[in-house]
Amino acid sequence: MARAQARSSEEVDRTDDAQVCDVLVVGLGPAGASAAAAAARGGARVWAVDRKVEAGRPVQCAEFVPRLVGMEIADLAEARRQDVTSMTTYIEQADTHDQPHFPGVMIDRASFDAGLVAAAATAGVQCRFGVGLRGIDGGGVAHLTDGTWIGARIIIGADGPRSVIGKAVGAENTEIAETRQITVPLLKPFAATDIFLSAAMPGGYAWLFPKGDVANLGLGLAPTWRHRLKPLLDALHSDLVRQGRVGGDILSVTGGAIPVGGMRRLVSTLGPATVLLAGDAAGLTNPVTGAGIASAVISGRLAGEAAAAHLAGDRDATVDYAEEIEAVFGGSLARALERRRELLSLYVSDRTPTPSDLMKGWIAFPDYWAA
């Protein structure tokens, strides 16, 4: 990548190998690393940048992955920490509902992300950390935080919930949930995802996910109620300490944004560049559960394959990408969005959700899946 002061698109010499690549991937999380690897395996010359100094750190995730991804990703074995078999839902901390079949795996996200980046590098991707995207000009040239710039025929925006690329093409996430999570010692091992639903948690829920001898205890809420994150999480932590399930120590604190507004437009153009969005940048996180690792990996891989096919002359490849993502995720995202909005609308009309309202808004209950 050439070191130069920011230049306008007209000044970029697109024949200069030092400044131009086939595919630029912005963000090296699960979506970006998967996209970059797939595009490179398809024969493209791929560069990827991430503003983080190190792959996967800091971890901003509860680290639960449904079984599906485990079947798709060899690297998962390295990152696996414990299996999960079921889901237990606590409604207002009074009623309890068990869903015996909810298989998945708790992973170490730092190790998972690092494994995906290593696979991308092995496939030939030039990965650069500690360099962010500052913006993209109207000619599709990416301007980086170190003052360099890159021109690419295809740009894959895998830069997370507050995607700069998504914003540049007018397809940014418009609805976000905010989160707070602590890691605590786990005193009584278990193999479920514990979910806590309450009318006091508008636009979200709390979770306790086991990871060997520790657990991730977290809470997500719509931004209007972000001031409740700490007090509600502290109260839940104290309850679980009283029950002897977890220790009182807080081993780490994290948080982050989750896109909850549903799928964005996946394919755009910026000047001569074709732009694809994947993962959180594409709004593929489930608006109810907040789960997005699986969709990030799958959409990233499909975006990378589409980029390589497009470069090889397949004119339909990018449209096919959008259609495939819609086919795989469209239905579940649309349902989750509808359920989330139904529940939030109760707060707007000053109604406190009842336990049945909360159950209709959660995936463990039949009403969630009803027409």
**Residue among 25, 22, 24, 27 nearest 44 (CA):** 22
- Confirm if 160 and 16 have CB atoms less than 8 A apart: no
Residue among 184 and 315 whose Cβ is closer to ligand FAD: 184
Binding to ligand FAD by CB under 6 A, coded x per residue (else -) over 173-192, reads ------x-x-----------
> Which of 44, 291, 306, 309: binder of ligand FAD (CB under 6 A)?
291
Given candidates 293, 309, 317, 359, which one binds ligand FAD under the rule CB under 6 A? 293
Residue of 103, 124, 132, 202 that binds ligand FAD (CB under 6 A) = 132
Query: Does residue 203 belong to the site contacting ligand FAD (CB under 6 A)?
Result: no
Q: How far is the CB of 148 from ligand FAD (least distance, A)?
A: 13
The residue among 124 and 255 lying less far from ligand FAD, judged by its C-beta, is 255
In the sheet that holds 176-185, the strands lie side by side as: 95-99, 86-91, 192-197, 206-211, 214-221, 176-185, 252-259
CA 359 from chain center: how many Å? 24
Q: Which stretch binds ligand FAD (CB under 6 A): 194-202, 279-287, 304-312, 333-341?
A: 279-287
Nearer to ligand FAD, 62 or 91 (CB): 62
Q: In this structure, are residues 35 and 307 in contact, taking their beta carbons and an 8 Å threshold?
A: yes
Identify which of residues 57 and 351 has a Cβ nearer to ligand FAD in the complex. Answer: 57
**Residue 84 binds ligand FAD, judged by CB under 6 A:** no
Minimum distance from CB of 289 to ligand FAD (Å)?
Answer: 8
Nearest residue (CB) to ligand FAD, 278 versus 308? 278
Is 305 one of the binding residues for ligand FAD (CB under 6 A)?
no
Any contact of residue 62 with ligand FAD (CB under 6 A)? Answer: yes
Name the minimum Å distance from CB 165 to ligand FAD: 8
CA-to-CA distance for 245 and 187, rounded, in angstroms? 5
The nearer residue to ligand FAD, 210 or 279, going by C-beta atoms, is 279
Residue of 1, 28, 222, 317 interacting with ligand FAD (CB under 6 A): 28
Q: Biggest alpha carbon distance in the chain?
A: 66
According to CB under 6 A, which residues from 145 to 164 bind ligand FAD?
Answer: 158-160, 164
Smaller CB separation from ligand FAD, 182 or 244 = 182
| Residue 17 CB contacts under 8 Å (≥ 6 apart), including other chains | none
Residue 262 lies near ligand FAD (rule: CB under 6 A): no
What minimum distance in Å lies between the beta carbon of 254 and ligand FAD?
6
| 260 binding ligand FAD? (CB under 6 A) | no
Output the smallest distance, CB 352 to ligand FAD, in A: 26
Q: Which residues pair with 210 in a beta bridge?
A: 215
Build a one-symbol-per-residue string for 205-244: x at contacts with ligand FAD by CB under 6 A, - elsewhere: -------------x--------------------------
Q: Determine, following the binding rule CB under 6 A, whether residue 333 of this chain makes contact with ligand FAD.
A: no
Note whether 276 binds ligand FAD by CB under 6 A. Answer: no
Residues that bind ligand FAD (CB under 6 A): 26-32, 49-52, 60-65, 132-133, 158-160, 164, 179, 181, 218, 255-256, 258, 279-281, 285, 290-294, 296
